[in-house]
A and B are shown apart, each in its own frame.
Chain A
Amino acid sequence: MSDVVEKTLTALPSLLSLDPQPGSAKLSSTSKLGNLIRGITELTSKHEEEKLIQHELASIKDQVSSPNTSMRQMKELMVRAIYCESLGYEASFTYIHAIKLAQQGTALEKRVGYLAVSLFLNESHELLLLLVNTVLKDLQSTNLIEVCMALTVVSQMFPKDMIPAILPLVEEKLNHPKEIIRRKAVLALYKFYLIAPNQVQHIHNKFRKALCDKDPGVMTASLHIYLQMIQENPEGYKDLTASFVTILKQVVGGKLPMDFNYHSVPAPWLQIQLLRILALLGKNDQSASAVMYEVLDESLRRAEMNHNITYAILYECVKCIYTIHPKSDLLEKAAKCIGNFVLSPKINLKYLGLKALTYVVQQDPRLALQHQMTIIECLDHSDLIIKRETLELLFRITNAQNVVVIVEKMLEFLRVNTDDYTTIDLVGKVAELAEKYPSDTMSTVFSVGGDMMQPDIPNSFLKLLSEGFDSVEEDRKLRLFAVDSYITLLQKEPGKLPQRFLQVISWVLGEYSHLKDELEPTVVLKLLAKLLDMKHTSSETKSWILMAMTKLCEGGAEVSVVREVSETYSSSMDTVLRQRAHELQYLSQDSELRAKVLLRDNAVQTCCVAGSQVDSSLSFLDGFVSEALAAGAAPYKPPHQRQEELAQAKALSLEPYGLSLPMSMSSCSITDRQSPTLLSMSSGLSGDSAEISHKGGSTSLKLDGVKRVWGREGYLPQRAAVEEAAQVEVPCTLRSPSQQGDPDPEKQQLASLFFGLSSQSSVCLMGKPEPTPHRFRRKAKGVTDPTSSSLISTPSNVEKLLCNNLLDSNIASELAVSSAKQITELPQGLKTASCDVEAELTDIADIKQNNPSLIVDNGIVAAADEDPDRPKDLCLISHLPAELSELCHSEITPLCTIQSLVLSACHLQKEDSLVLAVFISNSSDSALQHIVSCVSDSPAEDFRGHSVVVYQYSLTVKRPSIHVSIEGTVSFQLPGEAPQAAQFSYKLPLTIFIRPLTVSTEEYGTMWLSFSHDTKQNLTLIGDGQEALTATLNVLKQKLQLHVVEIIGQEGILSCRLLQDQPCLMHCRVHAGTLAVWLRSPVPDLPDCLIYHCQRALQEY
């Protein structure tokens, strides 16, 4: 602030004075705008304001349409209209005049016309098209100021479709001698890139030219484009890293003209922009990062001036250092820098320091340790935003040891907080922590968060409770604990509890209160009945309660309570309640039925197991849906798609937050096919249960993750090791640089926040062989992941199956022995890898009966071992039987070689089948005799030396997977030697099995509704404009043999079948520049596999 000299206050001439100050632009104080503003400033009520503005608008309306209004007056009118609009009063009648002013005015009038247009209209406004001609004219003007104006408005808003009309003109301006024109042209191109990136794809080299422009302003402008492009694809611009580094070096070194300085700091915002670009380029890239270290070091060093803007640069620099590949001395300097921030008495700096720390602890949690005392002080800071930012930071460093304190702090904040948005956000975070590190906090969360929280929080809590953890005993303890505490709560004052919490309570009691032996169901029922009678209990909660009661009533003493309740509600106006009441009534009377419907305990899992009874796709509703569609109802869109569309539609959200979806179970199950639904109804009576199994299946992976976090450490009292670590940490606390004087005992206690972190660091201190900072470890993770293959158990199955197979063939050979004396047997067992042994055995039986038909299953892919010395060209194709040799065949792949026996295979596409041909060539001199085990009726053949035998198998896919692999064994016996065997495998993409399916649109319609397995995804379009859909579908048609049924407008339908007759239908729609694809099939997994191949095909194109 050095050059902001404090000057005496300047008094302007009084408002009423007619004497404008010389030389200054204050003429308008006497104008009509002046009158308007003065009038408004003097008003006291909103009502008066409205009256005045309406009057003003009426007068503007009169004048704009008058033919006598000069352009000068028009400009004045336009400014008044802008003013009215900025107060929130629409002046849409002036829009067209704004365009006229831009068209006909000169100089400032024209500029004001353009300004008004950019303020009034949004990008999709149709009037904007009228501006195109004016822009076109001005771009060609000889008056530079007009060119400048046109470029300015183009870089603010321009209709997307009209870009081609002006693009050549804008491109031309890139070579203009004036820097301002070049700069504005670059900015206009940036705008084009934002709204229609593919339109400017061809001028990427011109962006490079702009980056190298001799004028720093033009270069700066081009950085906007680069930041955007690098964000989207950092790999594509690595070669520019050195250029950006050089630019930053020059800027930091003060090579720019003086007028780029701001308070003696050279082009600070340009530095910040460059640092952001470098961070993107250096992320996860060691070599690119290495180029930057020097300049980053330089930036840290130069930015020592005590001014806000240097701190802003430092913040960006620190972020960059912690984003790119780490370098220890830089990290150290950056950490020190953050220290200066957090310790600063200036609140803005403290805030930025906390923000930086929040970012940094995700890479290196130990850094928080250094500043722990400061962080604790910040927690009690008077400024809310500092507190808030501190909580955000704590949230990131939470672990099993400090979770209690941190959650307590968050809840403290929640209790005094009044802002809805913050409440929702924080409650979500607390719930997340409570889920990870279980404790009794969930009750507090529910009571504090109330009905504001996101509906998925109670849901996931219940899911957690029902799915359980590693140990049965712990599950029991937790459930018992929940039952206990909820009973106590209900006995106190249930009237104050939020509805969501009541719902959770009733579900838990209904499901688990039987775990507590001494608790009489009647007691619980009475408590629940009391809830029903409360005035403010919502009907949604009531139906939860009724469900719970249904689970609880077991006949006996409670019958009277139940009867009373069910009678009251069976005449309820609310249909859901009535339904529940009837269920309650019937089930309480029929205990047999009740036992069948309401499975006690782990109802969710049971439901999953009994999946066969459940139609997870709710296909029984298809009839209903199609009727509704025919009656004009809007087609169903899954939540994610709806959200996408919503996100595109809204930019700045001004809707009130916290309106959550109603959790009504009936509506959920009917409308919301894919939504994760309510577990509470896991033992549901109607079709509800269908969804639970659906969910149970799909989320099983996620569940694993949850289990791991919920380790025993979290739930049980801390282990000794942890305490030890904590003790080690105490001296550390004392050594903390931020700490001065005697530590406040309370704060000392709060330092327990950092116990978890310290245990980590104390590990380092103790010299265990893992001093690597956290972020190094992060990388290693990726390496271990792929090893966790899902089908590890398969090989053993394979062996087992092989044994069976061989056994069979041995029997066959024994039978054959009686007719001919074989010296060698060559049974060939082709079979597949799968986990399901039983199913496989039957398949083999199939093989035996219907050879050469072979069932192929998905399985692990054991790569055929490639021997480089093996002769590549086998000239085997001539051995194919005549009827096959006409077909197009794939390359012949060698499979394996055992001594003189060479196995190779190829596949041949027939219209109705896929034939696998296996060639066995015997290159030895000795003659072999062989028996094909699976052909019971074929006679034994001689297998002479230097001959080739071909086996053909027609393949069908039993269970689709992305790649199908066939595994087999060949075993044979040379004369006078022990039998030998070898395994081989052959891998095929699923696409090989896809054939077009010709259906009519009507047939397609009926089929579509009857198929239950589906998947959806957005794919990239090929080409643009009107033809994009057709072009894309043609690619799919060619590459995947899909049949295009019909294309109507922006939608297309395709069909195909998987051999033999397993259909799959595809529905495509162009939406927001992507292809929204929906696949349906009666075969599970087929849609998913097919969408993968579609994606591949489009990518490869």
Chain B
Amino acid sequence: MMIKFVLMVNRQGQTRLSRYYQPVELSRRAALEADVVRCCLSRRKEQVPEGHTSCGSAAAPLRLLSLRPLCPQCSFVEYRDFKLVYRQYAALYIVVGVTDAENELSIYELVHNFVEVLDKYFSRVSELDIMFNLDKVHIILDEMIQNGHIVETNKTRVLAPLTALDKMADG
């Protein structure tokens, strides 16, 4: 019962962030990620925000939490001997690899909690925030998941160390 990895990829399949909780050789990661992305992207129809037809990076970046998640299909995919739980936010996909015994729905909501934390920290988070603040997103994620287990979900507490660091830098 554990999380194997957390992956953030965009619609083009480019990795924005990856965190592995089980050792995977660097050389194999790219192939795994491509495979995982193919698995998730191929089953879902494009989710287009109302009133917008294009949301690529050239246009104005989308706030991740601006869309109500549509869920016409199952958010869980079987992949080899484990499961993928994925959730789409604007053009960004968050994919979590979990073991078969894990409670998929709780991970699905954990992803949302994570995005809400990011939204709180970056105040209205967009894909660009994640791209340009890779270190901070990692620090936040490290507060929430360690060794493949959920260690903190309280938003204030997750952000406490990072905000303290920011204060130190300012002061």
Contacts and interface: CB of A to CB of B under 8 A. Distances in A.
Given A41-B57, A309-B109, A24 B123 contact: yes
Given A7-B63, A308-B105, A12 B128 contact: yes
Interface stretch (A79-87, A1033-1041, A1058-1066): A79-87
A347 interface: yes
Contacts of B153: 260, 262, 267-270
5 cross-chain pairs, A with B, having the tightest CB-CB distances, nearest first: A11-B60, A88-B30, A312-B106, A651-B22, A312-B105
Interface string B123-139: 11010110111111011
Contacts of B124: 7, 10
Contacts of A194: 147
Interface in A33-90: 33-34, 37, 40-41, 75, 78-79, 82-83, 85-88, 90
Contacts of A384: 43
Contact of A385 (B4, B78, B150): B78
Contact of A145 (B24, B136, B142, B168): B168
B6 to A, nearest CB: 12
Interface stretch (A107-115, A839-847, A965-973): A107-115
A40 B12 CA distance: 12
Contacts of A183: 152
Given A4-B68, A29-B132, A145-B165, A156 B106 contact: no
Contacts of B149: 224
A652 B161 contact: no
A148 interface: yes
Contacts of B33: 88
A88 B68 contact: no
A148 B158 CA distance: 13
A26 interface: yes
Nearest to B56: A41
Interface stretch (A117-125, A428-436, A440-448, A821-829): A117-125
A180 interface: yes
A519 to B, nearest CB: 45
A314 to B, nearest CB: 9
Contacts of A272: 103, 106
A740 interface: no
A316 B104 CA distance: 11
Contacts of A25: 121-122, 129, 133, 136, 166
Contacts of A383: 43, 73-74
A463 interface: no
Contact of B165 (A4, A107, A315, A316): A107
Nearest to A195: B147
B60 A309 contact: no
A148 B168 CA distance: 14
18 contacts: A10-B63, A10-B124, A11-B61, A15-B128, A25-B166, A40-B14, A79-B135, A108-B169, A119-B138, A148-B161, A152-B142, A191-B147, A259-B156, A312-B108, A313-B106, A355-B104, A385-B78, A654-B31
A12 B124 CA distance: 10
B80 A653 contact: yes
Interface in A270-308: 270, 272-273, 276, 308
Interface in A643-676: 651-654, 657
Interface in B153-171: 153-157, 160-161, 164-166, 168-169
B78 A276 contact: no
Contacts of B45: none
Given A262-B153, A385-B74, A12 B27 contact: no
Contact of B132 (A34, A180, A260): A34
A12 B126 contact: yes
Interface centre among A9, A85, A119, A347 (most CB of B within 10 A): A9
B154 A259 contact: yes
Nearest to B143: A152
Given A41-B57, A87-B30, A388-B78, A115 B138 contact: yes
A269 B126 contact: no
A217 B156 CA distance: 12
A267 B150 CA distance: 12
Nearest to A75: B135
B81 A37 contact: no
Contact of A651 (B23, B43, B74, B152): B23
B15 A118 contact: no
Contacts of A347: 71-75
B110 A269 contact: yes
B81 to A, nearest CB: 7
A82 B23 contact: no
A472 interface: no
Contact of B106 (A85, A87, A269): A269
Contacts of B28: 654
Contacts of B157: 180, 217, 259
A80 B116 CA distance: 26
A25 B80 CA distance: 39
B41 interface: no
Interface in B59-73: 60-63, 65-69, 71-73
A1 interface: yes
A421 B80 contact: yes
Contacts of A487: none
A351 interface: yes
Given A33-B134, A107-B165, A107-B168, A156 B109 contact: no
B77 to A, nearest CB: 6
A122 B29 CA distance: 14
A116 to B, nearest CB: 9
A868 to B, nearest CB: 52
Contacts of B77: 385
Contacts of B78: 385, 388, 422
B151 A351 contact: no
